[in-house]
Amino acid sequence: MRFTYAEAMTDSSYYIPLAKAAEAAGYHGMTLADSVAYPAESDAKYPYTPDGNREFLEDKEMIETFVLASALSAVTTTLRFNFFVLKLPIRPPALVAKQAGSLAAMFDNRLGLGVGTSPWPEDYDLMGVPFARRGKRMDECIDIIRGLTTGEYFEYHGEFYDIEKTKMSPAPTKPIPILIGGHADAALRRAARNDGWMHGGGGPEELDELLAKLARYRAEAGSTGDFEIHVISADAYTADGIKRLEDKGVTDVIVGFRLPYIVGRDTEPLDDKIRNLERFAEKVISKV
C-alpha cells in the first residue's frame, strides 16, 4: 500500500514545509487540488458534500496546480504529486501536455495526472470553452496529452482538436499516469480505459459498489495492465483497515487530518499539521 498525504485550501506558505515533512515521514505522495476561480453565483452543486454546498471554497487560497507542483517538486526528491483533480476540459490540452511533460521530465517522473471534469459551468465560461459535451472533449484531451508527452511526432484529428504532426521536448522517461476522478458511470468507464481511478470519499458500502463497477468496466474494456486505485476511507487509519483495503485491490490511500468542507479560512497551525502527519506515519505507515 502507498500513502498519500492530502492538504488543500490552507495558508499558501504551509505547502513547502508540509511536503518536506510528508516526504521525511515516509509518505509516497501528496495530493494537489485544482481550482481556477470562484464565481459569485452558481446553480451547480458540489458533488462531494451531502447538500451540494460549495461555500467552503470561497476565499480559500488555491495556488495554480502546476505552479504548486513545480515548487514542491523542487524541494523534495521522492514525493510524488497527484493532482486531485485537474479540471482538464477547460484547459488547452497541448498546453497541459507541455506543462505535465516538463514537470515529469524535470523531476524524475513524480507526477500523477489526476483529471476530471469541472462541476461548475462558470469555469467553462471563464475559460471560453463550451460546457456541452465536456466528457467527449476530455477524452480527446487525454489522447492529446498521451501523444504529445511521448517525445515523438504526433498528430491528432478529432471533433474538438486538430493538431498537425508535431513533437514536444523535454519528454518524461516514463508515461505519465493518467488517473480519473469521479463516481459517475462515465467517470468509472473512463478510468477503466486509463491508468487509474481517484475516489472522492464516502461510506464503505458505496466504495464497494464503485470498486465492483470499476472492475466490471475494466473487464469490458479488456484492461489488464497496472492500474492505480486511490481511495479515501476510514479504513486507511488503522493497520487492519489497510489490510481490508488491500484485499479489495486498493493501491493507494489518501489521508488527511482535518475536515476540508469548513466555511472560512483554515486556522490550524502549521506545527499541528506536521505533528498529525508524523503521528499517522508512526502509528500506521511504519506498521504495514
Phi, then psi, of 165 in degrees rounded to 5: -55, 125
C-alpha cell at 100: 505535465
Query: Per-residue pLDDT averaged across 238-260, rounded?
Result: 96
Q: What is the pLDDT of residue 261?
A: 85
Q: What is the pLDDT of residue 146?
A: 98
Name which residue leads in pLDDT, 66 or 42: 66
Residues 182 and 213: their CA atoms lie apart, in Å, by: 13
Q: Where are the domains of the chain?
A: 2-287
Q: What is the pLDDT of residues 123-174, one digit of tens each?
A: 999 999 999 999 999 999 999 999 999 999 999 999 999 999 999 999 999 9
Is the peptide bond preceding residue 85 cis, with omega within 30 degrees of 0?
yes
Class of domain 2-287: alpha beta
Give every CB contact of residue 266 below 8 A, 6+ residues apart in sequence: 9, 10, 11, 60, 258
For the chain, the three-class secondary structure string (H helix, E strand, C coil) is: CEEEEECCCCCHHHHHHHHHHHHHHCCCEEEECCCCCCCCCCCCCCCCCCCCCCHHHCCCCCCCHHHHHHHHHHCCCCCEEEECCEEHHHCCHHHHHHHHHHHHHHCCCCEEEEEECCCCHHHHHHHCCCCCCHHHHHHHHHHHHHHHCCCCCEEEECCCCEEEEECCCCCCCCCCCEEEECCCHHHHHHHHCCCEEECCCCCHHHHHHHHHHHHHHHHHHCCCCCCEEEECCHHHHCHHHHHHHHHCCCCEEEECCCCCCCCCCCCCCHHHHHHHHHHHHHHCHHHC
Residues 28 and 123: their CA atoms lie apart, in Å, by: 31
Q: What is the pLDDT of residues 82-137, one digit of tens each?
A: 999 999 999 999 999 999 999 999 999 999 999 999 988 999 999 999 999 999 99
Residue 81 has pLDDT above 90, yes or no: yes
Q: What is the pLDDT of residues 167-226, one digit of tens each?
A: 999 999 999 999 999 999 999 999 999 999 999 999 999 999 999 999 999 999 999 999
State the residue for C-alpha cell 514542491: 72
**What pTM, to 2 d.p., does this model score?**
0.96
Q: What is the pLDDT of residue 214?
A: 98
Residue 260 pLDDT level (bands cut at 50, 70, 90): confident
Q: What is the pLDDT of residue 43?
A: 85
Radius of gyration of the chain from its Cα atoms, rounded to whole angstroms: 18
Q: What is the pLDDT of residues 35-64, one digit of tens each?
A: 999 988 888 888 888 888 888 889 889 999
Query: Per-residue pLDDT averaged across 250-274, rounded?
Result: 95
Q: What is the pLDDT of residue 262?
A: 86
